[in-house]
Structure 1
Amino acid sequence: MSADIQAWAGSNPYGVRAKIAEDRLRWELQLQVSHPPPLADWGFRFGEAVNHLRATLDNLVVAIARQSGVADEKQLKALMFPISGTPAEWKNRQKALACLADWCRNALEQVQPFQRPEYGGTLDEDLLLVLRDLDNRTKHHLQVKPDLAPQTIEHAPSVEFETEEGAAASVPPDTEVNIAPFEDGAVLLRHRTNGRIKSVRGRYSITAEVQVLLPDDRAFGVTDLLAALWEYTRAVMEHVIGTAEGAEGKSVV
């Protein structure tokens, strides 16, 4: 997906245009989108990756249970890797985890998000909670969007006025920066003047980022978030597997 996003970005899929208002007392920098991003495809693939990461944790718990001697298929089917944001949530999961050995439940408890309330200042910063909430959301729908942050817009405009008086009256410049949707015609900048504009020229640089919108409306770069989720999931699995091998004296597949 990262390669596809880079290929899309490398095809020069968007640009900008300056448009002067009819009264010539305002001009706008508008987004031009010639090649819209395939958001539906990227959203589906991101959701699949999230679901696979979540399933990997569930499969790990089932594998440990089987190697520990649990043979009841009903119990195994009900097993899943617990992700609890509070001690109360963890307590409510104990019945489903009763078939696991004490060492396994202890290992699972050690990696729970509620154990690290200081991480990032709030519980919702924990990546296991992010994985859980995204997995639940992707089963229904996922919001993936390219976003333009104001600080990624660099502009060096040159405005020519019809009169010297108009130019002098328009200092300092009155410029408004917008957080615009990624669509053709979206207004990125709006510049108001007190004198009539003759022409607008300039150089502009805009950086767009494909982002995923979390359930709490925080936005992160899609590939950066996937990489972080993968790394954290691997670290959690290594902790649990290491505990399992130490307790049972054999590897967990």
Structure 2
Amino acid sequence: MDFSDQVRRLVRAHQLGAALSADMQAWSVDSPYGVRASIAEDRLSWDLRLQVPQSPPLADWGFRFGEAVNHLRAALDNLIVAIARQSGVTDEKQLRGLMFPICGTLKEWKSRQKALSCLPNWCRHALEQIQPFQRSEHGGSLDEDLLIVLRDLDNSTKHHLQVKPDLTPQSIRHTPAVEFETEEGAAASVPPDVEVVVGPFEDGAVLLRHRTKGRIKSVEGQYNIMAQVQAITPDGRPHGVTSLLAALWEYTRIVMGHVMGAAETG
């Protein structure tokens, strides 16, 4: 059975992911970001603010991420169509309606049986074995299933043309040295009142805000920030773009291998 088109889809998705990862790393090297401390006018607080000399091309990254996701989903759909053709299905309308089933419930799986009836028994059996609704029987949870994530991301990218990732600070390490105008002000400002601010990754954005009871004379210290480009999945959960794409690619390869292996023994 010829699975060359599906393999090409997998290869293309892998190439897109590798190029995307390389571009992200190149941007972080060419456009290093940093932080700066800024004392308020009343000198009763200070902020830690981002310094971003050049905004990252998030829209382009999101489009390419979405393209890779679409290739993975298409590889699964085309696999089912190829098996149907090999099994003797020639009705183009029927073939166009075929897609790789991704079912979160047994009821949903049963509702797909009519559409899948043109497939050989070995194929339907292999498909049932890897359905997300089976995960609970093996101690897993549905929201962990990468086929569900792939399906929902693919639907999202089709409706919105692209996934729009966020560049989000992951960790902030800082060792500030705050000098107060008076000893009384320093004593009154213990323990420190610190607020972590979640905002856009852009120049001047506030990361941390320290409020004090005494007036601040100066702020010094060492600061380090790490950030990650994240894709927000339709269920609202953030994932690192490159790690998520790598996981989706690997699981798609495993799923395809399972079905293709069944073809050899079916």
TM-score, with length taken from structure 2: 0.88
**Is residue 92 from structure 1 mapped to residue 106 from structure 2 by the alignment?**
no
Q: Is the 8 A contact 1:119 1:126 kept in 2?
A: no
**How far apart, CA to CA, are the structure 2 residues paired with 1:119 and 1:39?**
38
Where does residue 183 of structure 2 map in the other structure? 164
Greater Cα shift, 72-81 or 114-123: 114-123
Amino acid at match of 2:26: A
Runs of 4+ with deviation above 6 angstroms: none
Q: Is the helix fraction higher in 1 or 2?
A: 2
Residue 143 of structure 1 is aligned with which of 142, 155, 164?
164
Deviation of 1:21 after TM superposition, in Å, equals 0.9
**Residues 30-109 of structure 1: pairs in structure 2 closer than 5 A:** 30-109=49-128
Deviation of 1:171 after TM superposition, in Å, equals 2.0
TM-score, with length taken from structure 1: 0.93
Classify the secondary structure of the residue corresponding to 2:47.
Answer: strand
**How far apart, CA to CA, are the structure 1 residues paired with 2:33 and 2:178?**
23
Classify the secondary structure of the residue corresponding to 2:34.
Answer: strand
Amino acid at match of 1:145: D
Where does residue 4 of structure 2 map in the other structure? none
Deviation of 1:165 after TM superposition, in Å, equals 2.1
**How far apart, CA to CA, are the structure 2 residues paired with 1:118 and 1:202?**
53
Q: Is the 8 A contact 1:148 1:180 kept in 2?
A: no
Amino acid at match of 1:228: A
Deviation of 1:119 after TM superposition, in Å, equals 6.5
Deviation of 1:66 after TM superposition, in Å, equals 1.4
Deviation of 1:61 after TM superposition, in Å, equals 0.7
Amino acid at match of 1:184: D
Query: What does the per-residue CA deviation read over 1:2-58, in whole Å, with 9 as the maximum and x for residues that have no partner?
Result: 000001111244211111111111111111221111011001000000000000001
User: In structure 2, do the counterparts of structure 1 residues 47 and 120 end up closer, same or farther at CA, with 3 Å as the change threshold?
Assistant: farther
Equivalent residue pairs, number: 245
Where does residue 114 of structure 1 map in the other structure? 133
**Is residue 186 from structure 1 mapped to residue 205 from structure 2 by the alignment?**
yes
Q: Give the % identical residues.
A: 73
**Is residue 212 from structure 1 mapped to residue 231 from structure 2 by the alignment?**
yes
Classify the secondary structure of the residue corresponding to 2:113.
Answer: coil
Deviation of 1:167 after TM superposition, in Å, equals 1.7
Amino acid at match of 1:40: A
Q: Is the 8 A contact 1:8 1:37 kept in 2?
A: yes
Aligned-CA RMSD value: 1.4
Query: What does the per-residue CA deviation read over 1:168-216, in whole Å, with 9 as the maximum and x for residues that have no partner?
Result: 2222222222223212222111111111111111110000000000001
Deviation of 1:226 after TM superposition, in Å, equals 0.4
Classify the secondary structure of the residue corresponding to 2:150.
Answer: helix
Q: Which runs of 5+ in 2 are unaligned?
A: 1-19
**How far apart, CA to CA, are the structure 2 residues paired with 1:85 and 1:127?**
11
